[in-house]
Amino acid sequence: MSLTVSDRIQLRMRELDLTQADIMRSTKAARGTVSGWVNGSNSPSAKHLESLANCLQTTSSWLLTGNDVKSQPVIQEPNGNVTFIDVPLRQVPLLDYVQAGLFHEVGYDGVNPLGTSWTTYEGVRPECVFSLKVEGLSMAPEFVPGDELVVDGSLEPKPGSLVIAQEIQHGIARTTFKKYRVIGVNEFGVDVIELVPLNPDFPTLNSTQIEISIIGVVVAHNRIFKY
């Protein structure tokens, strides 16, 4: 037995988990009109046929005759400036700056992190990924206190990378967030580097003047906007 128009409407409603209210909203048709389409007491008029077919993600030809393909892919028109990201979130430890320094020196053991954060970034070695909160204004205005940084400790920095590094001056070690810049090579063939703040009110650190060790490369930046 061949299907009727109402049979095809009901079939698509079941497949798409749609209600008559959904069809009413999509087609702007009255409740009694939509009910008639579904129970077969009347057929969709030309006024509503295309909007009904769009709601059921099919074609008007298939609704009326069953001779066309049943379903059509939903195509998002490029009329917006955002898109959805279908990437799973993963949890990473949120460290303080002392723990981040230990991560470089001996490998942070994961005990008593400051908290946890979430990221879509995974990297080749997920166990080397952690998060830090920005402190101070040396990287303002792009990065402000409270922003979260996702850091990959397994990556080697490249010129222009944003890095978490440890600087040692007068026997005191400090962990810092700066831009990585290579300015030359010393007599041993080792890169001479600078750690550059984005805020010009703060000093640049130079590896010929202080000891610098790179902890990891910043791979993501999370910010909660105040409102």
Pairing of strands 211-222, 162-169: antiparallel
pLDDT at 96: 84
Fold of 5-65: 434 Repressor (Amino-terminal Domain) (1.10.260)
For the chain, residues with pLDDT lower than 50 are 73-76, 106
pLDDT at 39: 92
pLDDT at 74: 47
Q: Taking Cα atoms as reference points, which of 98, 203, 216 lies closest to residue 161? A: 216
Q: How far apart are CA 150 and CA 129, in angstroms?
A: 7
Both structure tokens of 125: 């070695």
Fold of 90-222: Umud Fragment, subunit A (2.10.109)
Q: Taking Cα atoms as reference points, which of 118, 147, 151 lies closest to residue 133? A: 147
Helix ranges restricted to H, 58-180: 60-65, 97-105
Q: Which amino acid is at 203?
A: P
Q: Which amino acid is at 171?
A: G
- pLDDT averaged over the chain? 85
DSSP 8-state code for residue 127: G
